[in-house]
Structure 1
Amino acid sequence: MRQSWAPGDMRGGGTVNADGFGVGWYPPDGREPVRYRVDRPMWSDVNFAALAEVTRSPAVLASVRSATIGMPVVETAAAPFSDDGWLFAHNGVVRGWPESVAHLAGEVPVANLLTMDAPMDSALLWVLLRHRLRKGADPAEAVTSLVADVAEASPMSRLNLLLTDSEQIVATTWTHSLWTRVGPGRVEVSSEPGDDDPAWTEVPDRHLVLARPSEVDLRPLAEAAGGPTTGAR
């Protein structure tokens, strides 16, 4: 499986992804995922090409960053975020940060907030999602409920989330672009098509994506959440 999170100019995103990038992958021997994150443009990194050339993995998550104004440009602000065998990325923005979602932060232990990767919206989304997963929530349920809660608290947010444990991909479209491509034994999920292959299929807005090797299931987020979605229309 391959997941690439590349914010572009589609549906109001950034146009130059120069604020860092990150890649997370799962070693073939089943160990915890490995990450490579930097706070500079991909084209200025002299090491990554050589590293990528010799890396083999059953699942990879890659992300390039165009930072929202006011958010820090530091290495730890670049996705993917990781813990407990998961890799996570967010493409979008939480409007009204941080006041709009401050009450949601109250559901997690203070120590988790004090140790999150960076003082930014994507890092908080990961802390909130990780907390729900640790409480035993099904991954699709955890992602769906988080999108619903944040959209209600912060209308007009863009909430494309992607979560993987190398065996499955759970992703959402919420006012941002998302595409999938399925091939023999593999599935790709990307914010934009990586080439002109007609096999790329755009995911409708406000949908949940559940993917495993060679198959993709789409569900309206309203249906996945068990009721009408809230927030921006």
Structure 2
Amino acid sequence: MTQKVALVTGAARGIGLATTKLFIDQGWKVAMIDRDGPELSAASKTVSDAASPFEYDVSDPAQVDQMVEAVLSALGRLDAVVNNAGVADFLPVEDTSFATWRRIMETNLDGVFLVSQATIPALKETKGAIVNIGSISGLRASTLRVAYGTSKAAVIHMTKQQAAELGEYGIRANCVCPGPVKTKLAMAVHSPEIISAYLDAMPLGRYGTENEISEVIHFLCSDKASFVTGQIVAADGGFETTGVGLPALRRE
């Protein structure tokens, strides 16, 4: 059986690294993409030889073309592309500079477009899958997220466009929208008040884990999801479903 290959952006940490490890556990090879060279090098040493690190910036069109060429030269094929690379800056609307807006859009939106477009020829050959990482911030508005939330909302719609246009080639495109996830960064910046508010708003009453998100990503890339495309999956403990005000109505 031919060993499948996944390309994962933002693979040096968090959900990207967890996804890399799960793919490898399931017998895949992984091209780990990240622009943070030292962090990528360190992360790649924590996984097996089935992972190959590639230092590139997905927001740069020239680098993306070079990246795809390098990955295909080294690994020979692509069966799945996971567009996970992303940045965030949480500011009020009136305090969000255009420079900040563009910095977030360049990675979160432009990067998804560039990587997806550049990998289409390889995915046509394997009838592969694209999984874009959105956010519940792209599904519902929130304070301090005018750039981040808008970028993720655009990714959600881009996923639907990809599914509509690429299905004729056998390429599937889906989007995973994580809710609050227990990452090192989240735990460092979420105050006790923020954590309490999130827990009250989620039916499952807890943060998710990086591994739980990676399981959804892997499923959507696998043959088990062979008839699933154009779908937006909120992996968020039910947060997006409940709307506003329901926690106060819940039974004790």
> TM-score normalized by structure 2?
0.30
Please identify which structure carries the higher helix content: 2
Bigger radius of gyration among the two: 2
More strand by share: 1
